[in-house]
Amino acid sequence: MVNCVESVPKLNLCRAYNLGIIEYEQARQLQNNLVSARIAGDIPDIALLLQHHPVLTIGASGNEQNILTSQERLASKGIPVIRTDRGGDVTYHGPGQLVGYLIFDLKTHGTGLHQYVRRLEEVIIRTLNHFSITAHRDPQYPGVWVRHAKICALGIRVSRWVTKHGFALNVNTDLKHFTGIIPCGIADRRATSMAQVLGHEIALEEVASCLCEQCAWVFHINISEKPAEELIGYYVR
């Protein structure tokens, strides 16, 4: 694991799982089952790190008019459009993008929703800084930005103080897919990626490892990486 941060006392436990590339609907079912288990107290906090096959998702308050590409053209490319229950508007997920779905019980963290979002942004900003990318928040919009371009989108939902969904960090993402949408419903901004900023691709495993360490630091948790096979039962219930 990349050593990105100094040691810090930790409080809560968190299990991290790298799921590779999976379908969006499969990940959504998994999250719903894990949220139920977290609410019941059957599991600790969970961090799912993964990539999706190409898909456009629309948040709960999103506008389908922010999809500029026709449904026929999207279908011909095998890119589904899925309405989901996260916050935010339209975004693209696909290979080369590191997605993090966090199943956290905010009561155990002593934090509210607004502070949770700020902490997520801090995790991403600190991770990017490790790779010599200067990023920042925008007071108008959630997410993380490099200059005026969005490099990481955030969208969450909370049920009985347990979170799901999370962030989508563009690492080696094919950015041409963002030209067919108005990303996050913001017409005068564009998307960027770590690879575009740095001029070369980066191993997602290295980014994921650093991101876990930054998450442990920001949220004061002990993160232990576990095999994805532990979650098999949560896919089918």
Region 2-23 average pLDDT: 77
pLDDT top residue among 188 and 119:
119
CB 189 within 8 A of CB 149: yes
Token pair of 117 as six digits: 């979002």
Token pair of 188 as six digits: 């005068």
Confidence at residue 5, expressed as pLDDT on a 0 to 100 scale: 54
Which residues contact residue 4 at a Cβ distance below 8 angstroms, ignoring those fewer than 6 apart? Answer: 126, 127, 130, 210, 213, 214
Q: In what order do the strands lie in the sheet with 90-93?
A: 81-83, 55-58, 90-93
Using alpha carbons, list the distances in angstroms from residue 90 to 8, 55, 58, 68, 170.
Answer: 37, 10, 4, 11, 15
What pTM did the predictor assign?
A: 0.94
β-bridge partners, 150: 145, 191
Establish whether 184 is a catalytic residue.
yes
Region 103-114 average pLDDT: 94
Q: Where are the domains of the chain?
A: 12-236
Measure the CA angle with vertex 16, ends 154 and 235; round to 5°. 85
Tell me how far apart the alpha carbons of residues 209 and 21 are, in angstroms, rounded to a whole number.
17
The distance between the two most distant Cα atoms of the chain, rounded to a whole number of Å, is 53
> Alpha helices of the chain — where are they, by DSSP H?
24-39, 71-76, 106-109, 113-130, 194-198, 204-219, 232-236
136-173 tens-digit pLDDT: 999 888 999 999 999 999 999 999 999 999 999 999 99
Using alpha carbons, list the distances in angstroms from residue 229 to 116, 175, 235, 237.
Answer: 29, 32, 11, 15
Measure the CA angle with vertex 27, ends 13 and 88; round to 5°. 90
Confidence at residue 89, expressed as pLDDT on a 0 to 100 scale: 92
DSSP state of 39: H
Residue type, 9: P
Active-site annotation holder among 4, 184, 212, 215: 184
Confidence at residue 28, expressed as pLDDT on a 0 to 100 scale: 95
* Domain covering 12-236 assigned CATH 3.30.930.10 in the classification: yes
Q: Count Cβ atoms within 10 A of the Cβ of residue 208 and give its class: 0-12 exposed, 13-18 middle, 19 or more buried.
A: buried
Say which range, 2-6, 108-112, 139-143, 166-170, has the weakest mean pLDDT. Answer: 2-6
Confidence at residue 206, expressed as pLDDT on a 0 to 100 scale: 98
